[in-house]
Structure 1
Amino acid sequence: MNVAELIIETLHQHGVRHVFGIPGDAICDFTYALKSRQDMDFILVRHEEAGAFAASAQAKLSGELACCMGTAGGGAIHLLNGLYDAKLDRAPVLAITGQVQTEFVGTGYHQEVDTERLFADACVYSKTVMDEGQLPALIMEACKAAISERAPAHLSVPTNVAGRKVAEIPSNLTPGLSGARMRPCDEDLKHAADLINKAEKPVILAGLGAGSGGDQVIALAKKIKAPIARTLRAKDWIDESHPDCIGGLGLLGGVAGSKSMEHCDLLVMIGTDYPYVDFYPKKAKVIQIDIDVRNIGKRTSIDVPLHGHTDPTVGALLELVNEKSDDSFKKDMTRRHEEERRHWTSDEGSDHTPVRPQTLLHAVSTHAPDNAVFLCDTGTITAWSARHLIVKETQRFTASACLGTMAFAMSGSIGAQLKYPDRPVAALCGDGAFAMLMADFVTAVRYDLPVTVIVLENKKLGFIALEQEGKGLPEHSIDLVNPDFVAFARACGGEGIQVSRPEELDHALKTAFSNGKATVVNVETEPGELIMPPQINARQAYHFGLAKVREAIEPIKEALGK
């Protein structure tokens, strides 16, 4: 094997079946190596950023290694946003980039970029293969770093090295990785159990990491009569439809989540690095369970740190805690949640034209197949999905949660559909986010991927409007001029469906989920619909009112100026 072939074979032994990228002279050996195989595919995207998002989505949903590729210079640089998305959401992705010939490295040669240094922040491992003798050690180290640290790794390969023969090639190209499950020491577990037994109003804040021991977490919630508030990413394993879940926390959550933090006397954080410190309880005791010791105590003061995996840690706690009889606090939080859900239901059933976002997301929940995979973009679509998209136990959900970058959903849906060919995949996008990388819709068509792309078209950057008004500023610089997304989808060879009224939603979504084609469902949505925070303080009210006054005055000032 040559260097490129050995790297590709190593990826195959790690379970990688798709490599996303755009060919270039510095990676020709890699694309040819993939062309020569029947068990792996090079997926030609239209933008390397889309390829990195596709790989990130595969890694997030599966927990397995995924791969993207870029040539020297700009091709490599385009990967970075997707790799940062993977880094912040703890997803194992390997990025392979081309490099100029070794004799020109460091001379400012055409397309030369110090990719090893450039990728060092986005990746936990970033090295350049300067000699074929460094293999297979470097590729195995890169894979091991990505998998063990659940983060991107990077290899840069000069074009004159990629085609060189490698002398010694072991048959096993997978490094030994332990499958051990870690739990805290008995003393810490007993301390945590003592706090739980004394608590009268315990609450569980569950993140995505809690899903690895979801059955134990739910059993703990039932035993200690604790409501479960979830983070956005935790929708992937528990959502509002579960009787023990009181919905989300924070601006994307509801009243019950916020009230539970205000009134609890014990918070049990499980598998979450929830960043918004204003929503943590001010007086309650706190227990935090996390496999990454760096996350413990990062956001709020912790009384008992429990360093370990969710399932053995919560399993051990279940044996130590007493079953509580008083469930009045949990019932109160559940009642608040159900009252808010009833209020939201009236919005979801609205016949208002243009379509209200709540109505759209409720319709998606209703018509999406029970095994659907949802990818949510960043913007107002995030908030509407957080509250009004109900993810069933058999469905999946992911987003660009920690980086919060736009353009993730449609690109990510390509990776998700390739990874799970037997599951329907839906990308939930705002019009601003979809338009950023919409050229890669043709990639879905090219590879016959029946993804459903649902576009919330309000013709503005709606979340930016909220942020502007949150500062007391009027809306400005956010209006969008959109192409005809339906005509675009058809021009790509896919299907396009226009929805202008709420009564058109049912037929459009039924068609999109059943036609077996890459489909864009473009929904004209109400641009003035407000995302109300679960609780409004005086400062928020003041700034919102100030913004509205300024919005009213600005046209008058402009008219007088003319």
Structure 2
Amino acid sequence: MADTVADLLIDRLIDWGVDTVFGLPGDGINGLFESLRRRQDRIKLVQVRHEEAAALAACGYAKFTRRLGVCLATSGPGGLHLVNGLYDAKSDGQPVLAITGHTYHDLIGTRYQQDVDLERVLGDVAAYSERVMSASHVCNVVDEAVKTAIARRTVAHITVPKDIQDWPSSGPRSKANVARHSGDLYADAMPLPPQSALQKAADLLNSGSRVAILAGRGCLTARKELLAVAEKLGAPIVKALLGKAVVPDDHPLTTGGIGLLGTAPSQEVLEGCDRLLIAGSSFPYLEFYPRPNQARAVQIDLDPSRIGLRYPVEIGLTGHCWDVLRGLLPLIEDKSDRSFLTQAQQRMAQWNELMETRATRNDLPMKPQVVARTLNEFLQDDAVICCDTGTVTTWAARHILIRGAMEFSASGTLATMGNGLAYSIGAAVAFPGRQVVCFAGDGGLTMLMGELATIAKYRLPVKVIVIKNNQLGMIKWEQLAFEGNPQYGVQLQPIDFAGVARACGVPGWHLADPRLARGVLKEAFDQPGPALVEAEVDPNEPPLPGKLTTDQAWQFVKALAKGQPDRWDIIRTVVENKIREVV
């Protein structure tokens, strides 16, 4: 029974099917926590160690379940800590509801303790941000917030003053406010383009001789339809990072990823195509798309405002990728000339050989590629892989191979560090029977390292793989290759991550010898519950783009000439890599 405003709010979340909330207690939300305590049989609280982790975990939960993620934080600093994780959700189009406390309703705006106007602070990241004013107001606000987050695939925010949380549930109601008028149901519009638009799109694609497909996260539920269209068109499928799990990495129709983390064959496909189908992706790096006027393009996206956002398209098709591709399929003609696809497949075979060469070296210090490649042997066909941001994203994108029903995600457009472990918490809570792997760098893991205690507390079976090079590696290589300057400010104080994990209650292993990689990883994966492997790797192994541009090479040389401290080690590493590849 709902006795308070807080009870009404939590009950309304339960009505909407919310069963998990990620949060951290505080006096500004004690009323909400009491309501959660009395409803433990219907809604689970996952206590984290930092509110940023709560928001990132809610984002990860939303990404992997395709449901609403919910996070809860106290007033003032608690709500402020949510901001980064909420922007991650907004940037990657994930429905997340943030609930925060506020100071006493009659002291708001008087500089009382923790009096922060979170409605205003979160007004940019949240498409809907509202303060609950009374018992008769709360259900209306919750309904509007939930519907906005789901419909727009974005962030919504509710804040409740601490005293209002404890007000009786039977407060006064205005004459205009009809009880429960807002409803607790949401129906997707399921838009589908008109047949004439589908026919024009098919005609444009059929007229090309070198068709390419750029597939993103919007195709994660459209694998069957995407492969069928690609097969008829003889079109290589290039995958944006968040679309890595769209099709298996060893499928003959894909050339893998694109961008700085991608493959050379994928870049060549986009450089050589005359038709481009962009399906469920807003891949942000404009420099990797075909040249202007090179390719005529069709784009499929659920959000009409994203049509033509990255590349000029002639035909935009609004709708879910599985629906639109299914509608396109009978209109697509079987392409008899498969030379464009065949050439891409030949180049992909060469690329895979190169990746195998790089990932099977036994020299010391250990190459990070060795860890990523060996990890494949222990991944189940439905594993959920949560990747942090940094050089680790390159090794994961190129060397962790998607197969079966695996899921993969990272922080896409925002590219925030620290997301990997928090995403893993969201995934492990959502799928208690599935294998969850966090692939993180030492820089990213350090940011929210306290969440090791969270996976220990709940015995979440997350396997954490930490690539340790004692530096912010991606920043180092960006300073060298993009700015032409020596590295500065990127060296990290070494941390014994295996020791920290053990101190938190998580078994930990140290790995530095590539010949021991298989054995160490096997021990960790055989361990029930959480486990952490600290892999110490070569800090001079460059995460170079699949195709290095002349400008990048020149900036790299300039940086070395300016006095890069470890320039001879870097030169030796690059030269050794090239010699091995030629041999």
Normalising by structure 1, report the TM-score.
0.96
2:354 to 321, 338, 343: 343
Q: Residues 72-127 of structure 1: CA distance to partner in whole angstroms, max 9, x if unpaired?
A: 11011001111111111111111110001111111121110110011111111100
**In the alignment, what sits opposite 2:551?**
539
Provide the rounded CA distance (Å) in 2 between the counterparts of 1:426 and 1:51: 18
| 1:67 Cα offset (Å) | 1.0
| 1:166 Cα offset (Å) | 2.5
Provide the rounded CA distance (Å) in 1 between the counterparts of 2:271 and 2:476: 29
Secondary structure of 2:244's counterpart equals helix
Letter in 2 for 1:494: V
**In the alignment, what sits opposite 1:183?**
192
Provide the rounded CA distance (Å) in 1 between the counterparts of 2:469 and 2:564: 20
Map 1:206-285; keep pairs closer than 5 Å: 206-282=215-291, 283-285=294-296
Provide the rounded CA distance (Å) in 2 between the counterparts of 1:236 and 1:156: 36
CA shift in 2, pair 1:528/1:174, >3 Å: farther
| 1:15 Cα offset (Å) | 2.6
Provide the rounded CA distance (Å) in 1 between the counterparts of 2:450 and 2:377: 29
Provide the rounded CA distance (Å) in 2 between the counterparts of 1:53 and 1:353: 35
Provide the rounded CA distance (Å) in 2 between the counterparts of 1:222 and 1:57: 32
Map 1:72-111; keep pairs closer than 5 Å: 72-111=75-114
Q: Percent of pairs identical after alignment? A: 37
Letter in 1 for 2:34: Y
Map 1:5-404; keep pairs closer than 5 Å: 5-37=7-39, 38-167=41-170, 175-282=184-291, 283-404=294-415
Asked if structure 2 preserves the Cα contact closer than 8 Å seen for 1:14 and 1:65, the reply is no
Asked if structure 2 preserves the Cα contact closer than 8 Å seen for 1:13 and 1:173, the reply is no
Asked if structure 2 preserves the Cα contact closer than 8 Å seen for 1:427 and 1:454, the reply is yes
Asked if structure 1 preserves the Cα contact closer than 8 Å seen for 2:75 and 2:115, the reply is yes
Asked if structure 2 preserves the Cα contact closer than 8 Å seen for 1:15 and 1:64, the reply is no
1:528 to 528, 537, 540: 540
**In the alignment, what sits opposite 2:571?**
none
Provide the rounded CA distance (Å) in 2 between the counterparts of 1:527 and 1:553: 13
State the number of aligned residues: 556
Name whichever of 181-190 and 542-551 sits farther off.
Answer: 181-190
1:480 aligns with 2:492: yes
Asked if structure 2 preserves the Cα contact closer than 8 Å seen for 1:230 and 1:239, the reply is no
Letter in 2 for 1:162: Q
Q: Residues 427-465 of structure 1: CA distance to partner in whole angstroms, max 9, x if unpaired?
A: 111001111110110111011112111000000000000
Provide the rounded CA distance (Å) in 1 between the counterparts of 2:545 and 2:137: 54
**In the alignment, what sits opposite 1:499?**
511
| 1:540 Cα offset (Å) | 1.1
CA shift in 2, pair 1:20/1:553, >3 Å: closer
Letter in 1 for 2:479: Q
Letter in 1 for 2:487: E
| 1:554 Cα offset (Å) | 9.8
CA shift in 2, pair 1:423/1:104, >3 Å: same
**In the alignment, what sits opposite 2:572?**
none
Normalising by structure 2, report the TM-score.
0.93
Letter in 1 for 2:492: L
| 1:173 Cα offset (Å) | 8.4
Secondary structure of 1:102's counterpart equals coil
Asked if structure 1 preserves the Cα contact closer than 8 Å seen for 2:238 and 2:258, the reply is yes
Asked if structure 2 preserves the Cα contact closer than 8 Å seen for 1:91 and 1:151, the reply is yes
Secondary structure of 1:511's counterpart equals helix
Provide the rounded CA distance (Å) in 1 between the counterparts of 2:58 and 2:21: 8
Provide the rounded CA distance (Å) in 2 between the counterparts of 1:270 and 1:6: 41
Secondary structure of 2:476's counterpart equals helix
Q: Residues 330-358 of structure 1: CA distance to partner in whole angstroms, max 9, x if unpaired?
A: 01011111111111101111112222111
Asked if structure 2 preserves the Cα contact closer than 8 Å seen for 1:10 and 1:173, the reply is no
Letter in 2 for 1:12: I
User: Where does structure 2 lack aligned partners over 5 or more consecutive residues?
Assistant: 569-583
Provide the rounded CA distance (Å) in 2 between the counterparts of 1:210 and 1:153: 25
Asked if structure 1 preserves the Cα contact closer than 8 Å seen for 2:5 and 2:134, the reply is no
Secondary structure of 1:135's counterpart equals helix
Q: Residues 53-85 of structure 1: CA distance to partner in whole angstroms, max 9, x if unpaired?
A: 111110111110111111111011001111111
